Structure 1
Amino acid sequence: MIEITQGGSPIVLGMPHTGTDVPPEIWDKLNERGQALADTDWHIDRLYNGLGLDVTVVRTPIHRYVIDPNRGPDDASLYPGQNTTGLCPLTDFEGFPIYHEGQEPDADEVSRRRALYHAPYHDALSTELARVKAKHGIALLYDCHSIRSVIPYLFDDTLPDLNIGTNSSTSCGQFVERAVETRCRAAQDYSSVLNGRFKGGWTTRHYGQPAENIHAIQMELAQSTYMDETPPWQWRADKAERLRPVLYRILNDLTELLYERQQR
């Protein structure tokens, strides 16, 4: 079920929210808003395809409405006091219910989904990070995300184009954070922020152990940088081809830095 493309470099790309698969027994319980799957990280796998410089990719095809792999298994809030969605979301990013009334998952169903869909994704991530660290002595999880640039329920105003999350500079070494922030700031025509509204999800916070030479960083892209933000959520080649070189340079810089660290 989990899609794994093994590479030889120290970088692992995580893709927890690009999938659109919903098992039939869950699909029938979703209402019209839920079945729209509006909160998908549309086209992220396509956007990063071919940029990776021999990176490993771990992707789940399961949609986040089934279970969100970027939430902790205990479903603790990542942003206490702010609107967000949970492990098995009951609402969309606008705050509206996504299930028919009375069809929401109960505790047993959440536990079932956690075992079937959440655990395998993280088993794969853990295995691949351990593999590349064993090879290089260092590993970097680059967590790939995107979201609509205007969602009043989740954040005020318009989101910056490039949103870097390092859990307030704790999930990766300063050299990783500085390289990505510098490259983003140098990207003409794109706005960026470090640890703004999105500081990194559970994945970044859980795996980032820089003292153990496992670094993690999240990149949350505003979807306006590469696609239409309204249904049918179309890929915009004109926008994507301007953005892809920026992402390539970020990954290239990180690759070079990690190989330099390997040689020390």
Structure 2
Amino acid sequence: MDKVLSFHQGQLPLLISIPHAGLKLTPAVADGLVDQARSLPDTDWHIPRLYDFAQALGASVLTAEYSRFVIDLNRPEDDKPLYAGATTGLYPDTLFEGEPLFKEGLAPSPAERKHYLEQVWHPYHRAIRHELARLRETFGYVLLWDAHSIRSHIPRLFDGKLPDFNLGTFNDASCDPSLAQRLTHVCQQAQGYDHVLNGRFKGGHITRHYGNPAAHVHAVQLELAQSTYMQEREPFTYREDLARPTQAVLKQLLEALLAWGQARYRN
């Protein structure tokens, strides 16, 4: 397979993971998709652009190139469900709305999916492990921010409208509770936005698996409502008028994350 990820190495103890913004498809996936899936509607659209300030901030940034329709990088290798109720798996077979993802009989074969696991999933997670190890060795601690977005209305997955900022810390298991409190305070001060901590989205596999406060690895997932920065339906247009103030809040969140780490590990 060709390039499966993009990586920028930063100078601060912060890694931003962007696992669901990829747009590449394998031939088997592309040939099998139903018509309504060809626009890749369940993509975390424009997240690299929304976080384009992060490199200047000093963060390391890891971005997937392949679509979650090929393989979901935020699901465990054994495909064990992360949430009760409706969800999607390691190899998605439905759209978020519940419709089949592939035409009948045209889903990728088990052998093809094993190849995706080896050539897409494993490289992404090796990159996470290596960068977390490097940063922890350099700084004594590391902060992991898993960046996501989703349409604000998906009845199959959640009731009503999703809050704008959905912070997930796996019920305080993936990071120190005081860090979650600091981030929640930033959201409380952000006028015109609402937020929740450990609501419908508590953190996926990346947050749950790598977050380990006892080992000084603090992981947080942000599931951002796409209504805060883009047109949620086709053609999924990035809206600078919405994105600019949302970026300001994102930058405040990452700065608060870094400030918490510096204060906590000052000595």
Distance 2:171 2:42 in 1: 25
Task: Find out whether 1:221 has 2:221 as its counterpart.
Answer: no
Residue range with higher mean Cα deviation, 115-124 or 253-262: 253-262
* 1:184 and 2:187 correspond: yes
Amino acid at match of 1:12: L
User: 1:23 Cα deviation (Å)?
Assistant: 1.8
Task: Give 1:205's aligned residue.
Answer: 208
Deviates more, 1:191-200 or 1:107-116: 107-116
Show the counterpart of 1:16: 19
Aligned to 1:74: 78
Asked if the contact 2:9/2:59 (under 8 Å) is kept, the reply is yes
Shift in Å at residue 108 of structure 1?
2.8
- For the 8 Å contact 1:51–1:244, the answer to whether it is kept is no
What is the aligned length?
A: 263
Mapping of residues 235-254 of structure 1, within 5 Å: 235-254=238-257
Partner of 2:7: 4
Letter in 2 for 1:36: S
Instruction: Report the TM-score when normalising by structure 2.
Output: 0.96
2:30 and 2:237 map into 1 onto residues whose CA distance is 23
CA–CA distance in 1 between the matches of 2:127 and 2:47?
19
Which amino acid is the alignment partner of residue 255 of structure 1? L
What RMSD in Å do the two structures reach over aligned CA positions? 1.0
- Could you list the runs of 5+ residues in structure 1 that have no partner in the other structure? none
> What CA distance in whole angstroms lies between the structure 2 residues aligned with 1:131 and 1:248?
24
SS in structure 2 of the partner of residue 28 of structure 1: helix
Which whole-Å CA distance do the structure 2 matches of 1:178 and 1:130 have between them? 26
Would you say the 8 A contact 1:33–1:97 is kept in 2? no
**Which 4+ stretches in 1 moved above 4 angstroms?**
none
Q: Residue 168 of structure 2 aligns with which residue?
A: 165
Counterpart of 2:116 in structure 1 is 113
Which amino acid in structure 2 is aligned with residue 131 of structure 1?
R
Q: Among all aligned residue pairs of Structure 1 and Structure 2, give the percentage whose two residues are the same amino acid.
A: 44
- Measured after TM superposition, the shift of residue 239 of structure 1 is 0.4
Shift of 1:179: 1.2
**2:199, 2:183 → 1: CA distance?**
15
SS at match of 1:193: strand
Give the alignment partner of residue 68 of structure 2, picking from 36, 58, 64: 64
Q: CA deviation at 1:107?
A: 3.1
Residue pairs, 1:143-162, within 5 angstroms: 143-162=146-165
Q: 1:46 deviation in Å?
A: 0.3
Q: Deviations over 1:141-186 (max 9, x none)?
A: 1000000000001111000000000001110012221111111111
State the distance in 1 between where 2:36 and 2:115 align: 23
- How much does 1:26 deviate? 2.2
CA distances 1:42-81 after superposition (whole Å, capped 9, x unpaired): 001000111451000011110000000000010011112x
**2:236 is equivalent to residue 233 of structure 1:** yes
Q: CA deviation at 1:39?
A: 0.3
Residue 46 of structure 1, aligned match among 41, 44, 49: 49
Counterpart Cα distance in 2 of 1:98 and 1:32: 9
Say if 2:29 and 2:69, in contact at 8 Å, map to a contact too: no
